[in-house]
Chain A
């Protein structure tokens, strides 16, 4: 039966998940534990305000400003919060810098811990079992799935995130970007390059 009867348009239906969420929201609101307006504000923040552009600004600044880069290396939590990006779970941040011989890759094997304040919410693959289970045991194979093939001599370091410690990869600055402003540089920094499943774009590719 593929068609609804036109004269019997259906009533509202709530799927079981939506009904459970409403039930929880009702209970938690009655108990004064959540405020529906605060819920809306949180959704809005994560849907529209927080995203990988924040991280891209951090990386672009690190590329342009050696002093900031040093700070980011020593105390990423403080350096990042100086740009106005602070985590709300009290988590610490660590910046891991790619070099000509080491590539960094971030995963959360436990669940899906991710540096929300600088990257927004994680992409689907980051939360999915194939990535979470394979990144540690076969990082090179995982990177190949992203069409990222590194020289055999490049060492790959895998960082497993936790609730308390989240990682931001600082990719290598692409060649041919001398004299670029921070804004121009930020355009080259992709989300994947800050997780380690990609590289920063070259000016030609951007």
Chain B
């Protein structure tokens, strides 16, 4: 996608300066977790900028930045792991558990981790 397309796209979307800040709720949550963890002192903003930059610079980063919050989440996970808050395997196992819980929850009801049939 060219810069021109990106600009036009931003202009076409609602809200005062163009496009909405977050396209999906998980993006907003991932964003806010980083702000909260920084407030808490888990990392400096410089550490964060470098972690995010490392993800954004990976080969295959999309020209239209639609993977921006994927990179954001990846960087957050990396910091959580390097700061020894949790192991990556722990995050992955819990994510799988949330997906099973979602699948087992009837449509329209809130998803709860307890609904994961495999949860021990």
Contact = CB atoms under 8 A, between A and B. Distances in A.
A42 B35 contact: yes
B103 A12 contact: yes
A134 B17 contact: no
Contacts of B97: 23
Contact of B6 (A12, A35, A125, A190): A125
Interface residues of A, number: 62
A11 B22 CA distance: 25
B7 to A, nearest CB: 5
By CB atoms of chain B within 10 A, which of A19, A35, A40 has the most? A19
A111 B56 CA distance: 7
Nearest to A164: B46
Given A24-B76, A25-B33, A27-B86, A16 B95 contact: yes
Interface residues of B, number: 72
Q: Which A-B residue pairs are the 4 nearest by beta carbons?
A: A23-B94, A128-B65, A42-B32, A163-B49
17 contacts: A14-B102, A20-B91, A22-B94, A22-B95, A23-B92, A23-B98, A27-B86, A31-B85, A34-B37, A38-B32, A42-B35, A47-B21, A90-B45, A120-B17, A124-B19, A125-B3, A142-B3
Given A14-B102, A26-B98, A145-B3, 20 more contacts: A12-B105, A17-B73, A19-B99, A20-B77, A22-B26, A24-B33, A28-B37, A28-B85, A34-B37, A40-B32, A43-B22, A46-B31, A47-B22, A111-B56, A119-B17, A130-B3, A130-B6, A130-B63, A164-B45, A164-B46
